[in-house]
Copies of this chain bind each other. A is one copy, B any other.
């Protein structure tokens, strides 16, 4: 079966100068992917007529579906609509259902009088099919040119997202999309190249309809298998079988056999076991707690943290002995062990992870370089494990690496305990 390709065009100066991170394209890519449409190219272009035309020409080379967002608003810099009208050889005319919708929105939702620029939202090229915008005033527009379809959507993420189901339906009705399946797993503990070495036979033997991608991120590597084929059922079987083979090849660096972050993986483990955890953080300054609490529902297993950035709080609140701090320093195996014990005592959870290190750029001593980290995982039954790391990145990345490794260290400690 023929592969179905799409291009995504986002329009707006704010994207080009980096004022706004383009999350629309990522969302559209995910949605298209689910129905078996491959995004071949993505373009971002400013509010410049000639540049937009150039990109419209380029986007249609080798793709049949061109999705466009942005530039449909009521202000002077929103030029997408008249430009598309001209590009497809149409004339602007008032679209009565859209005018009714906009009028109703102003009366019932915005509680403001309409001004001329709002009324203009209802002027639509006569060569397009209108796609209603439930969430806002700028409608979507479907243009056709031979086999190709062009769909323009508003750039406001909430409005675009609400319109996407209809857009996907249009695409599925128009084209016979192949089935597509993804399988993703998360690993930690082996660098990308070592992992590749470990699974190179598997990768070399992959059938031509399946691709393997490495997605490294802060010491973690996601592996993603993407397969496409005509028959959904056969594809699912093939992918399931390949995925279990991949899991066994990956071995003990496997963290999760789904596309979730480390902090969700440890959360699932704690939920399964009905256990709770806390953190005692020095150098990570609450970042481990933040990762954990970014997951909805984390209050079921994450209870709290003590961030002891200052020596005095390590001593007074976590009851690290002054002699330990004096003799071994705040970044030492002895200190993190006492921090972990103190946190279990203070916060009364089943498990805790204590972390102390030097994140840089300052803070190094002759025997303790920037990037040195000690961590201790402990359980309330008295088990404890410690480990040191040495990260060599900048402050921000050292903090992120420390946090992710601490979560993985505690995760393995919980599994083994």
A residues neighboring B (CB under 8 Å): 13-23, 25-31, 33, 38-48, 51, 54-55, 58, 61-62, 73-77, 109-110, 112, 115, 117-118, 135, 156, 158, 162, 182, 191-194, 196-197, 203, 211-216, 222, 224, 226, 259, 276, 279, 281, 284-290, 292-294, 296-299, 302-310, 312-313, 316-317, 346-348, 360-362, 392-397, 399
A16 to chain B, nearest CB (A): 4
**Contact yes or no, B310 A303, CB < 8 A:** yes
Instruction: A259 to B135: give the CA distance in the assembly, Å.
Output: 27
7 closest A-B pairs by CB: A285-B293, A286-B289, A286-B286, A18-B29, A18-B30, A42-B44, A18-B26
Q: Which residue of B lies closest to A190 (CB)?
A: B112
A-B contact pairs, 29 of them (CB 8 A): A14-B213, A15-B25, A17-B213, A17-B226, A18-B26, A18-B33, A19-B222, A22-B26, A25-B44, A40-B46, A41-B43, A41-B51, A43-B43, A54-B61, A54-B62, A117-B197, A158-B396, A279-B307, A284-B293, A285-B286, A285-B302, A289-B309, A293-B309, A303-B312, A304-B307, A304-B313, A305-B309, A317-B346, A317-B347
**Contact yes or no, A26 B33, CB < 8 A:** no
A176 to chain B, nearest CB (A): 20
A37 to chain B, nearest CB (A): 10
A344 to chain B, nearest CB (A): 13
Taking a contact as CB atoms closer than 8 A, the residue among B18, B290, B296 that contacts A286 in the complex is B290
**Contact yes or no, A285 B290, CB < 8 A:** yes
Instruction: A308 to B31: give the CA distance in the assembly, Å.
Output: 36
Q: Which residue of B lies closest to A295 (CB)?
A: B395
* Residues of B close to A310: CB separation below 8 A: 276, 299, 303-304
Given A292-B285, A304-B307, A307-B286, the answer on whether A20 and B14 have CB atoms closer than 8 Å is no
Instruction: A397 to B307: give the CA distance in the assembly, Å.
Output: 23
With a 10 A CB-CB cut-off, give which of A15, A47, A48, A193 has the most chain B CB atoms: A193
A205 to chain B, nearest CB (A): 13
**Contact yes or no, B41 A17, CB < 8 A:** no
* Residues of B close to A75: CB separation below 8 A: 192-193, 196, 214
* Residues of B close to A31: CB separation below 8 A: 18
With a 10 A CB-CB cut-off, give which of A18, A61, A211 has the most chain B CB atoms: A18
Instruction: A16 to B197: give the CA distance in the assembly, Å.
Output: 26
**Contact yes or no, A30 B17, CB < 8 A:** yes
**Contact yes or no, A317 B304, CB < 8 A:** yes
Instruction: A203 to B77: give the CA distance in the assembly, Å.
Output: 11
Instruction: A203 to B74: give the CA distance in the assembly, Å.
Output: 14
Given A156-B216, A294-B285, the answer on whether A29 and B41 have CB atoms closer than 8 Å is no
**Contact yes or no, B54 A39, CB < 8 A:** no
A217 to chain B, nearest CB (A): 8
**Contact yes or no, B45 A44, CB < 8 A:** no
* Residues of B close to A13: CB separation below 8 A: 211, 213, 226
**Contact yes or no, B17 A135, CB < 8 A:** no
**Contact yes or no, B115 A194, CB < 8 A:** yes
**Contact yes or no, A193 B317, CB < 8 A:** no
Q: Which residue of B lies closest to A222 (CB)?
A: B19
**Contact yes or no, B76 A196, CB < 8 A:** yes
* Residues of B close to A29: CB separation below 8 A: 15-18
